[in-house]
Structure formats: structure tokens, C-alpha cells
Amino acid sequence: MVSYKDLGLVNTREMFAKAVKGGYAIPAFNFNNMEQLQAIIIAAAETKSPVILQVSKGARNYANQTLLRYMAEGAVAYAKELGWERPQIVLHLDHGDSFELCKSCVDMGFSSVMIDGSALPYEENVALTKKVVEYAHKYDVTVEAELGVLAGVEDEVSAEESHYTKPEEVVDFVSKTGCDSLAISIGTSHGAYKFKPEQCTRDPKTGKLVPPPLAFDVLEGVEKQLPGFPIVLHGSSSVPQEYVDIINSNGGKLPDAVGIPEEQLRKAAKSAVCKINIDSDSRLAMTAAVRRVFNEKPGEFDPRKYLGPARDEMKKLYSEKIKNVLGSDGKAE
Ligand SMILES: [Zn+2]
């Protein structure tokens, strides 16, 4: 049993309470390699922003759970070395799909876990989430749950009300499960193709796709039911056009990739939304930087010469998100 407290990590309880009150959101950046982790920590340390290091089940398998535990511990030490005296860093499991996986993460030094029972019938989601909360809370690990179904990149994206979180269910769910935060579905989705072209309109000037707006009425309904309760948005990358263009002009092929406009995320960050998940944007930043080096310098074969620029580009992206979208800079002095 490894306690996250011994690794210098924190859980999400206090930072979420402050974020809800302060009208900003904490960045949750996914990582699975050293360069991503360096970029996240440098950006958070420079901006003094609390930060959630997020690891999916797949990323945990990719990176190895033992190595991850030391990477998280190293991240805290590195943050201090960068001059961040009291780093507020969370190690969080993204989309845990079983009690066993969540338990294993709690036992290996995670300070927060998500149990995603959103695909299950309501009562089964309640039972599974409750079981995870009971275990995690014994070790002061916080738990994120999910209600409502988010569309994925391969799924049929539907604007039907039934896919959104039902505000009338949230009080019952939170009181029965005891979860610490709740991911809701208001129209964000996973991946770099969040909407099909036919769901979007075209900007007549640029010809670019403009996605449909998020369902802020659903968010307001949830906030009314659960005043001050921490809400989480998944699938909230913006898919910056500049990265898509760099990728496509350097041999890549990402036609019609489309994300969530940043002004909508800024609006969400000011509400009870206190955690915003961003993964695809850093993948795009990394891929754009690597593709550019490969295209412009075909003779290059030192990984530091392409992963270094990729790291710089990701760091720039993370800092920009913290300062201009989430508003979490200076909140962890
Ligand atoms: Zn997600």
C-alpha cells in the first residue's frame, strides 16, 4: 500500500471547493510519457496553478503502474525544484471501469479516482460508485463519478436529451453514492472529431466548421439541484486549427477535426464546473511539432530533437489553457 500523501500529492477536495467558489476550473491533463509530464509540471509551476495529472486505464498499461507512481513522486520534487514551494498536484485515474482497477490505483498512490458507471443502468451505476467511494474514502482518496453518456469519437453523436445528464437524477445519485465530484454530459465529447460535419455550420468567411453550442441549460439545471457541488467536464479539447493545419501541411491527414470553442469553456469554468479535461489538444500539439521536424529535417534521428520541440509546444499549450481558458493561474501560490 502506497499512500499518495507520502508522495507529496493532494486529493481534489480542497482545490475543488476553492475553484467552485472562485469561479475558475482546475486543468486535468492526461499524460503517459516523460515529455508530457515535464510540460505539464513546468506550465503548472510557472503559472502556480493547481493541476490534475490524469491517467487512463490504457495509459496506465502503457506507462506501467510502478513507473507511474515514481513519475508522480518525481513530478512533485521537480515542481519544488522549479521554485513552486507548495505544489498542488493530483494523480487521478481517468475513466476507471471497475472496482478492482480503482482499488489498485488507490493502493498504488493515486490521490483521486474516477469510476465511470455511466454506461450501466442507473441503479448499477449507483451501487458500483458507492462501493468505490467506500473504499477510497478510507484512504482519503476523492472519487469522481459520471451521470449521462458522452459521445465518443466512434459513436453516433446525438443531441437527444437522453444522452445528456438528467438534472432530476443528480441529487439522488450524489447522496446515495457519496461521490466527491460529478462528470456530466452537456454536449462535449472525446477525441479530435467531436462533431460530424452535418452537425456543424460553416463559417462563411473561413469555410471552417462551427460546432453546436454546449447545453448550458442542462448545466444550470444541475447547478440548481446541487448548489456548489463540483462538476466535471470531459472531452473539452478545442482542437486548435493551427495544429490541425501544421499536421495536415506536413504529411498528416486530419480532415474536419473539430473541438469545443474556448469561449464556451471559459463560460463553463466560471460556473460550478471545477475540472476540465484536456487530452486531444496536447496530442495535436505534440504531433504537429514532431511532424514539422520530420518534414523539415528528414535527416534528424535524435529523439530529443523532435520530442524536445514537442515538449515546448505542449508546455505553451498548457500555459495558455491555464491562463486564458481555466483561470487557475496563481491559485496555488
Ligand atoms: Zn473522459
Give the CATH number, domain containing residue 242: 3.20.20.70
Q: Quote the pTM value.
A: 0.95
Q: Tell how far the Cα of 250 is from the centroid of ligand 1, in angstroms.
A: 29
Nine cell digits for residue 222: 444541475
Which pLDDT score, from 0 to 100, does residue 196 have?
A: 82
Per-residue confidence (pLDDT) for residue 140, from 0 to 100: 98
pLDDT of res. 245: 96
Using alpha carbons, select from 50, 52, 61 the residue that is nearest to residue 28. 52
- The reported pLDDT for the residue numbered 12 is 98
Question: Would you say 321 and 27 are in contact if contact means Cβ atoms under 8 Å apart?
Answer: yes
List the shell of residues around ion ligand 1, using CB closer than 5 Å: 234
Q: Is the residue at 332 inside a domain?
A: no
Q: Residue 200: inside a domain, yes or no?
A: yes
pLDDT of residue 290: 98
Rounded Cα gap, residues 11 and 111, in angstroms: 5
| Cα 295 to ligand 1 centroid, rounded to whole Å | 32
Which residue, among 77, 48, 59, has the nearest Cα to 323 in the 3D structure?
48
At 153, list the grid cell: 469519437
Cα(274) to centroid of ligand 1, in Å?
15
CA of 190 to the centre of ligand 1 (A): 6
Residue 163 is predicted with a pLDDT of 80
Provide the grid cell at 86. Answer: 507548495
Residue 254 lies in a domain: yes
For 42, the grid coordinates are: 513546468
Residue 268 Cα distances to 133, 220, 241, 273, angstroms: 26, 10, 21, 6
Instruction: Give just the sign of the alpha carbon dihedral 331, 321, 167, 143.
Output: negative
The catalytic residues are: 94
Per-residue pLDDT of the chain (333 residues; tens, 9 = 90+): 999 999 999 999 999 999 999 999 999 999 999 999 999 999 999 999 999 999 999 999 999 999 999 999 999 999 999 999 999 999 999 999 999 999 999 999 999 999 999 989 999 999 999 999 999 999 999 999 999 988 764 334 443 444 899 999 999 999 999 999 999 999 898 888 888 888 888 888 877 788 889 999 999 999 999 999 999 999 999 999 999 999 999 999 998 888 999 999 999 999 999 999 999 999 999 999 999 999 999 999 999 999 999 999 999 999 999 999 999 999 998
Q: Quick check: is 299 in a domain?
A: yes
Specify if 207 maps to a domain: yes
pLDDT value for 151: 72
User: Cα–Cα distance between 140 and 117 in angstroms, integer?
Assistant: 21
Q: Give a yes or no: residue 158 inside a domain.
A: yes
Report the number of distinct structural domains present in the chain: 1
Is residue 331 assigned to a domain?
A: no
Q: 116: CA distance to ligand 1 center in Å?
A: 9
At 104 the three-state DSSP class reads helix
**Containing domain of residue 213, as a range?**
4-326
- Per-residue burial over 84-123, b if 16 or more Cβ lie within 10 Å, else e, is beebbbbbbbbbbbeeebbbbbbebbbbbbbbbbbeeeee
The pLDDT assigned to 160 comes to 43
Ligand 1 centre to CA of 278 (Å) is 9
